[in-house]
Amino acid sequence: MDAADRALLHGHDPIPGLVAVECEPRPGGDVAVLFRREGGRVRTAEEPFRPFLWAESAELVRGCPAPHEVEPLEGPGDLRILVRCPTWAALETAVRWLQKASGRTPFDREAPYFFINDAVQQHLMERGRTLFDGLSFGDLRRLQLDIETRTAEGFEFSNPDREEDRILAIGLSDNTGWSALLHAGEHDEPSLIRRMVELVRERDPDLVEGHNIFAFDLDYLARRAARHGIELRLGRLDRPMAIRPGRFVAADRAVSYPRADLFGRTVVDTYFLAQLYDVVHRTLPGLGLKEAARHFGFAREGREYIEGSEIGRTFDRDPDRVLRYLAADLQETAGLAARLGPVYVAQARMVPMSLQNVVLRGAAAKIDAVMLRGYLAARAAIPRPQPARPFEGGLTEVYETGVVRPVHHCDVRSLYPSIMLVDRIGPASDSLGFFLRLLERLRDVRFEARARMAAAAGAERAFEEAMQSAFKILINSFYGYLGFEAARFNDFDAAERVAARGRELLRAMVEAVRAAGGRPVEVDTDGIFFIPPPGGDEDLARFRDRVRSVLPEGVDLEFDATYEAMFSYRRKNYALMTSDGEILITGAALRSRGLEPYLRDFIREWIGLKLAGRDDELDALADRYRRALVRREWPIQRLARTERLAQSPETYAARRQASGGPRDAACELALASGRPYRAGDTISYYVTGDRKSVPIHAHARRVADWDPERRDENVAYYVARLEDLIDRLKAVGVEENDPPPARRGRSRKKEAET
């Protein structure tokens, strides 16, 4: 890789071994504190930090009360001035003054100024650096943290604001093989917390990993520590942990959470990593640690499992069992982080952000950061983003529903990026041509990493796999970047041309499949599921060559998978059966976590029978589920929904009183319980009554209040839910001129009412 390519991908002034950067004020001016891992130790250094913003003209900042210097930029961009301040506080003063003077916030598309509200990102962009240069994932010191807590009687989940919900055990481990299990049998709660802080500082990790560590472990520790007047000095250089509001977004999932920052370290929440993985692959049965560990195959046979609400009672009877459970959680957290984390470390070697933000920020923000780094280095003016407008996206069609077999899949390798490179479609505002250069180099480096991966083994193979995955994720984000309103170099005309060309190529491929004797089943943006024509291997090879022939040079088609059968439900919702009988289910309609567990189980069993050709067993399956419901054979947890409170019950009640709106069953239960629920708490509830159509909020009851000796679940309601699901599944693949199956479930009107 020559110097220009390296600067484009990794910055123009790399520092080997850089694991963290922190910016903070000093009496003589702000500094950046650099943490470098060298020979097994972490060393620190400081250098000046002068924050900056972009502005339309020097006249715009004339009269600004904050001390500043102005530097002109070259090129046709709208923001042609770089304004530097001696401190971050001065920059914030300048931003407030500009906002008042212009009447626009810095994130308004029409604002005559713009700044990056992250000091670390500013420093890395300006200096042309990224983290982890010369380091692999295995070179980092990674520490796992997990806590076990008591839950007061009458509650399902522990709450640190309740006096009795004390910490019972704290587990720590790291990737050197070291571990420690601290527990209430040897320490009171203040001693537990203080000893944990001591051990973290002694082990001096670069990464602190945990599953749901933001919303539970670190937040819980902070609240309990505050009760005892303890400062959680978990950062490097003896700095205390800082907690501030955060927001995490993964596709259509958005959650507010208490973000914890450790000075000189990175907090890695494997719960977030699991969500990001599932957005792409849609294969995780759930987002919990145990479900993910079983899915990826590193859950140890015979490991301890204890319900969270039972931790306290189990600890009182058998503390060793809780410690075994805690040790297993640590091992699975380490495994999940090692499986999903390397991609983000690899991305951090390219994107000028802290690792914590590389995980939390979207792809458009990462591309922006790399583009803006290049423009800063060239001292070039930057554009305003274009206003958003609608345009037609990718081709998604279902040609056959029901069970089809056998099914093959072909995928246009990076369809939209290939179109952009072949047809040279990039943003018109990119005066330096960085966008297509960056995309082209990322593609080339990804192919190089794939080739090295194929020839490597062990840790080296894992590293190269992480690198090529990091490149792939960024590469496939370039099209979305063009059509994203907040992207600095967006271009909706370019995005529209790319999408139109993609639809044209996909339609040509579908017609080629048909012309060559195949049957297309579903097409989705860049790939096709199809049934190939009959024949042997030579016939199949000729068929594939004929489909490939419709694509232009530079756009590559890969026939990447073959399946015994496919259950095609609707767009983006299907199930596949592999040659060894494994069932892969994709799409929210078939695996929604909003469904009760018994319905998710039924879908999986029903689809398994359909794909295996065992239709004669479907009625018996339905009868078994009906019988279990009528006889009340299942524990209530199998019928319950679990929901996290997005707002406090008090806020919900105030909004309802002020503006009405639909009632929320979980919030209504929290209010009626008389217990101190808060935003973020989770409530599991089931439905009572004896009619199949009932208003849920008026018939919901907490699972914690369920009495197994006096069962009161609404059998008619749960049977109707099952019947409605069966009808929908049976209707799949029915020809239009066939009569639809009789609907035994609720009408759409009733569904809306309830």
Domain ranges of the chain: 3-134+358-378, 137-346, 396-426+491-577, 594-753
| CATH number of the 137-346 domain | 3.30.420.10
Sequence-distant (≥ 6) Cβ neighbours of residue 497 within 8 angstroms? 423, 425
| Superfamily name with CATH number, domain 3-134+358-378 | DNA Polymerase, chain B, domain 1 (3.30.342.10)
| Averaged pLDDT of the chain | 90
CATH architecture of 594-753: Orthogonal Bundle (1.10)
Show the tokens assigned to 507: 């339609």
Sequence-distant (≥ 6) Cβ neighbours of residue 148 within 8 angstroms? 167, 168, 169, 170, 171, 311, 315, 322, 325, 326
pLDDT of amino acid 123:
97
User: For 705-721, what is the mean pLDDT?
Assistant: 94
Give 627 or 736, the one with higher predicted confidence: 627
Same fold, 3-134+358-378 and 396-426+491-577: no
pLDDT digits (tens, 9 = 90+) for 53-63: 999 999 999 99
Shortest CA distance to 344 belongs to which of 443, 276, 249, 242? 276
pLDDT of amino acid 447:
83
Shortest CA distance to 115 belongs to which of 158, 68, 74? 68
pLDDT of amino acid 530:
96
The CA distance from 529 to 126, in Å, is 46
pTM of the model: 0.86
pLDDT digits (tens, 9 = 90+) for 445-480: 888 888 888 888 887 887 778 778 778 888 989 999
pLDDT digits (tens, 9 = 90+) for 10-25: 999 999 999 999 999 9
The third-level CATH classification (topology) of the domain covering 396-426+491-577 is Palm domain of DNA polymerase (3.90.1600)
Name the phi and psi angles at 465, rounded to 5.
Answer: -65, -40
